[in-house]
Structures are given as structure tokens and as C-alpha cells.
Amino acid sequence: MNKISIIKNLLIKNVSLLVGDRFGFFTDLKTNYFYLLSLVVVILQFVYVLIYYKYLSSIIPLWNFLNWGADILASKQYIFILPTLSLVVMLSCVSVSVYFMKYNLWSVSRFIAYFNLFNVLAFGVAIFTLIERSKITTLSFGPWFNLYFFPFLIAFAGTFITSRVLIKNADKLGIIEFPDLRDEPAKVLQRPTPRAGGVAFWVGFTIACSAFLWYSQRVWGLIIGTFLISLVGFLDDRYKLGYLSRLLLVLPVSIVIIVLSGFIMIYIPNPFGQPLKLDSWVFNFQLFGNHSIIVFAAIFAFLWLLWLSQMLSFNNGIDGQFVAISSVTALVIGLLSFRFGNLTYEQQISAKISFITLGALLGLFIDTFPPQKIIWGWGATAVGLIFASLSLLSGTRVASAFLVLLLPSIDVAYVLFVRLKEGKSPFKGDRNHLHHKLIDLGWSKRKIASFYWLISAVFGVLTYYTSGRSKALTTLMLTGVLLFALIVFRRYVGKLTALKS
């Protein structure tokens, strides 16, 4: 442990224990930590209400648990009831925890602290939702802060906190990966490291989407589909399920849920002529009402979701690589939504999900940057599903997603081709990926992560500033150049490795 980490831990411990002794709380660090965090959230609730109070309508729908009508309405000054109740709940939990601590029931006291934090966060979501529904004008921060930056911050905080909780409790959860337990040629892990980073991402993503996009059927389909991925990813991190159950059962079911929620490919864009429409075959059926499926649109969407999710998952082989590729992709897709001025409903949804995804990804930046403190695991597949779904909200962004992810796409396609050519399973790991070759060349993990940040940024700029035919020609040209470069580079590294050995 370096000096900075030691000083940080001592500072947190001393402040926590000082506050505990000052107010007669506890000598248990974790309990103090969660109550301090709860206190910060309660203070922010009061500050948020005070800031927005003058922007609220005179009558607000405060009592949402009652039947819709005049009974749910109240004068806006009653909004202070919510943060006050949040404070009362916190103080009540503190009192109960103090009681149990007298009898040295540490685990009970900690559970009450966790329960309190959950309730305080629930009050925070309720306050935010009520203000969003009741405000008559936007705060001077502007629409960017309210519509995109605030969701970004919530996703970032949710992922970051969850990641730290998983890291600290990894031994109890049984999710620590030991390098010597798996004999895999693709392995680059050098020390025991917690897994389940994909779970932390899903928590941050879901909290933000539930608070800001609760009204969208597509978003709930995305949340449920990625939940299955994250859940099975966590089980795989703990019990080592194997790839067959994940790829043949869980991933297809998750994709079907997302497609049925409304993410379909109505047409395939063609920059040199008319787009190829996929809406010629509509299948109608009855299941608790009349429904229909655009068959070809659903099939092509399924294949696109399958490819992008697996391609990104394959590019999760080294510290910091996945966050670099995915963060730039999320930013580019989000910025592309603003290219045409007035946003349509789909563009608004796409932009908000993109920045929520970006926040959740950057919430893992510190903990996955070399040397990583947590591994993504199979839960990283959920990120690919999100990007594929976002690109389907506008057919033109399928080409954009393909261009910004061109290097990892070509790398995966080439590796799969080599495996099949050699008669190997396409899902059996090896050391043919680009990041493995860079390691063989002597690059450090930090240098490789920085390389992926740089190359992703370059392709992100190209994606943003090209469109139509120029984007198609750029993609075709770069595909040939990159494929040739990767083949030559692999042969060079192979000869160099052979000479060294």
C-alpha cells in the first residue's frame, strides 16, 4: 500500500471515529461511514429543495400514493416534508443502532445503517421526481445540467459506490479471481482481484435510468435485459458457470427482451442509394391484447445486438481497456444526438441513456485503471447491448457505432477467423488479440490502456465529423488499412517472440 492510500485511510478512519465519539455514535468504522454518507445525502436533499423551491408551481402532486385526483395535491411548501422525513428516518435508525451497539451486536447495527442509507436514497429519488414533475421553469444551470449532466453524476456515483462496496466485501461474496486457478492462455491477471465490475455498472445505470427515464418502455426493456446479464455474470464470477449456458441461453433471452421492448432495425442505411427496408413482413398475434412483430427488423436487430455485445466483451482482456473503448463510444453516440438541433423523442432518449452510460462507465475508471482493483467479468456484455440498442434508435447511428468501434471489431473478427481456420472453438480464449500482442511486445498495462484511449478518441472524432458517403468511404478505407496493419503487426510480434525464445 503506498503512502497516499495509507494517509487517505487514516484520514477517513479518524474523521469517522471523531464524529462518532463527538455525537455519541459508534466505534465501528463501517457503521459511521454509512451514517455519514446518509447525512450528506439528507443535506443535499434540503439544498436541492431550497434551490428549486421558487421554480415550483404553487400546487404539487405530493401524495402520489392516493388515488389520482384533488387528494394528491398540496401546497408547494409541503415539499419540505420529504427531506424532513428522510432526516427523521435517519435519526431513528441511529437511535436503534446505538441501542444494539450497547450489546455488541455489530452486524445488526451495520444492517440498520445499510437499511437507512437505502431509505435516504429512496427519499432522494422521490424528491427529485416530484420536483421534475412540478417545476414550471428550468434552473439557470440550463437544460444540459438537468437533462444530461445530473443523470451522468447519479450514474457515476451509483457505480463508484457499488464498486467500492463490492471490492471491500469481495472475500465474503466469494468473487475474488485467483490467477493460478484458471489455466488459460489469454490470462493476464497477476494478483488476486475481485470480479463483478459489471454488477457495479448495472447498479449505477439502473438507478439513473429509473430516476430520469422511468416513463420509457424501451428503457425498462433495456434494464431487465441487462439485469439478466449482470445477474448471470455475478453468478459466473462466483461459481464459474462456463460460456455455454451464458451464450446459448441467457444472452439470447436478454436480447429478445430488449428487441420486444421496441429496439428493432427498421432499415439498413445505404449512403449510396435507397436504404434497405426491413418492414415487409409483419407477424400479428394476440397475447393479453393485439400485438405485432416486424420479423426481419427483429431478426437483424437480434444479430446486431448479439455481435456488438460479444465483440465488446472480447475486448475486456486487460486493465483499463474496456472503459477506454466504451467511454468514447458512449460520448460519441450522445453527442451525435445533438447534431440536428431540435431533438426528436428518440434522440432525447438516446442522448440521456448515452450520458448515463458514460457516467456509469467512468464510475469504474479509477478501479479498473492499471493496476485494476476490480474486474468487469461477463457483466461487461451489458454495455455492448446498450450501445447496440442506442444505435437502433436511429438507423444512421448503426454506421457510427461500427466506425467508432472499428479497431476492436476488426481485431475480434480476425481472431475468430483464425480460431475457426485452426479448428478451434471461437469462444476458447487465446493470445491472438491485439492487447496480447502489445504485452508480448513489452508494453505495460498502463501504456496499453492509454493507447486504447488515444485510438478510441481518434476514431470518435472521425465518427463525429463524417456522415453519409464520407463515413462509408472512411470506414471501408480504414477497414482495409487496419486489417493489413494487424496482420503485419501480428507476424512481426510472432517472429520477435520466436527469436527471444
pLDDT tens-digit series, residues 267-292: 887 777 788 888 888 888 777 767 78
Q: Which of 85, 111, 137 is the last residue of a domain?
A: 137
**pLDDT at site 122:** 87
Selection from 169, 9, 27, 15 nearest residue 106 by Cα:
27
In this structure, of 62-66, 167-171, 375-379, the range with the lowest mean pLDDT score is 62-66
**pLDDT at site 363:** 93
Model confidence at 264: pLDDT above 60:
yes
Residue type, 92: S
**pLDDT at site 137:** 62
Model confidence at 10: pLDDT above 60:
no
- On whether residue 472 sits in a domain, the answer given is no
**pLDDT at site 254:** 94
305 and 248 belong to one structural domain: yes
Higher pLDDT, 391 or 55: 391
191 and 130 belong to one structural domain: no
**pLDDT at site 323:** 94
Selection from 473, 486, 477 nearest residue 432 by Cα:
486
Number of domains in the chain: 2
253 and 129 belong to one structural domain: no
**pLDDT at site 501:** 67
Model confidence at 394: pLDDT above 90:
no
Cα 405 from Cα 401, distance rounded (Å) = 6
Long-range contacts of 489-496 (CB under 8 A, 24+ apart): 489/434, 489/437, 490/432, 490/437, 493/437, 493/440, 493/441, 496/440, 496/441
121 and 156 belong to one structural domain: no
120 and 198 belong to one structural domain: no
**pLDDT at site 409:** 94
Q: Which of 413, 429, 454 is the last residue of a domain?
A: 413
168 and 204 belong to one structural domain: yes
Higher pLDDT, 32 or 322: 322
**pLDDT at site 396:** 55
- On whether residue 428 sits in a domain, the answer given is no
In this structure, of 91-100, 138-147, 257-266, 346-355, the range with the lowest mean pLDDT score is 138-147
Cα 265 from Cα 290, distance rounded (Å) = 21
26 and 147 belong to one structural domain: no
pLDDT class for 181, splitting at 50, 70, 90? low
153 and 128 belong to one structural domain: no
Both ends of the chain: CA-CA distance in Å? 35
Domain that holds residue 62: 1-137
- On whether residue 475 sits in a domain, the answer given is no
Q: Which of 413, 448, 471 is the last residue of a domain?
A: 413
- On whether residue 421 sits in a domain, the answer given is no
- On whether residue 431 sits in a domain, the answer given is no
Model confidence at 473: pLDDT above 70:
yes
pLDDT class for 55, splitting at 50, 70, 90? confident
193 and 109 belong to one structural domain: no
- On whether residue 451 sits in a domain, the answer given is no
| Mean pLDDT, the chain, integer | 83
pTM for this predicted structure: 0.74
Model confidence at 429: pLDDT above 60:
yes
Mean pLDDT to the nearest integer, 455-468: 89
Model confidence at 305: pLDDT above 90:
yes
- On whether residue 106 sits in a domain, the answer given is yes
Cα 19 from Cα 25, distance rounded (Å) = 8
- On whether residue 452 sits in a domain, the answer given is no
Q: Reduce the DSSP state of residue 291 to 3 states and report it.
A: strand
**Number of neighbours of residue 100 by Cβ within 10 angstroms:** 18
Model confidence at 194: pLDDT above 60:
yes
321 and 391 belong to one structural domain: yes
Model confidence at 416: pLDDT above 60:
yes
C-beta separation of 198 from 378 below 8 A: yes
109 and 165 belong to one structural domain: no
112 and 173 belong to one structural domain: no
pLDDT class for 19, splitting at 50, 70, 90? very low
